[in-house]
Amino acid sequence: MTLQELDMNKTYTYADYFRWKLEERVELIRGRIFEMSPAPSRRQQQISGNIFYELKQFVQRGPCEVYSAPFDVRLPRKSASDIDITTVLQPDVCVVCDASKLDEKGCVGAPDIVVEVLSPGNNAKELKNKYEVYEEAGVPEYWVVSPQDETVLVYTLTGGKYTASRMMVAGDSVHSTVLNGFSLDVARLFE
């Protein structure tokens, strides 16, 4: 099956997504298909790997698990049934501290931290659509990392709405409200 064979105006569910055997990488946001970049650049992979490594080192003795893409995060609105889930994302890195949200297919429900590393072609999708669904799903922390600008912006959920940190650059450190004591040097992130 190819992406061109699918009706881009139709609303799909995780049950549909799970049956597809597409060559292209896609995500579902509110039932709509969004094509992902064919593969992250080497630089994006390095940055994503740096973040994964730092988070993994920090959580290795606790209840949290760290995952990197491709890893399906299903965000249910009505029920956790595959036929009801219309949002399936593959964040670059995510942290899940509630083991009951994990199954063999990935994560069902809001991860505790989601990290998206921007690519030149996906900024609008990351900054608008994903922001909205992560906020609605109750993801406590959503990090947006820009390799082009070498910046990190952290959104923290407060009272059901995101509040943004200031734009962090070299010389700053990312601190997590979810992972008490975690700190990530922004300059090292982009090395």
Query: Nearest Cα to 152, choosing from 107, 181, 113, 121?
Result: 113
pLDDT at 186: 97
- The residue range of the domain holding 143 is 3-189
pLDDT tens for 119-156 read 876 667 667 889 999 999 999 999 999 999 999 999 99
Strand order in the sheet with 88-89: 32-35, 26-29, 88-89, 72-74, 106-108, 102-103
| Digit-coded pLDDT (tens) for 53-62 | 999 999 998 8
% of the chain surpassing 70 pLDDT: 96
Domains of the chain: total? 1
CATH number for the domain that contains residue 73: 3.90.1570.10
Judge whether 98 and 131 are in contact, CB under 8 Å: no
Q: Is the pTM of this model over 0.85?
A: yes
pLDDT 10s digits, 1-38: 778 888 888 999 999 998 888 878 888 899 998 877 66
Of the pLDDT bands very low, low, confident and very high (cuts 50, 70, 90), residue 160 is very high
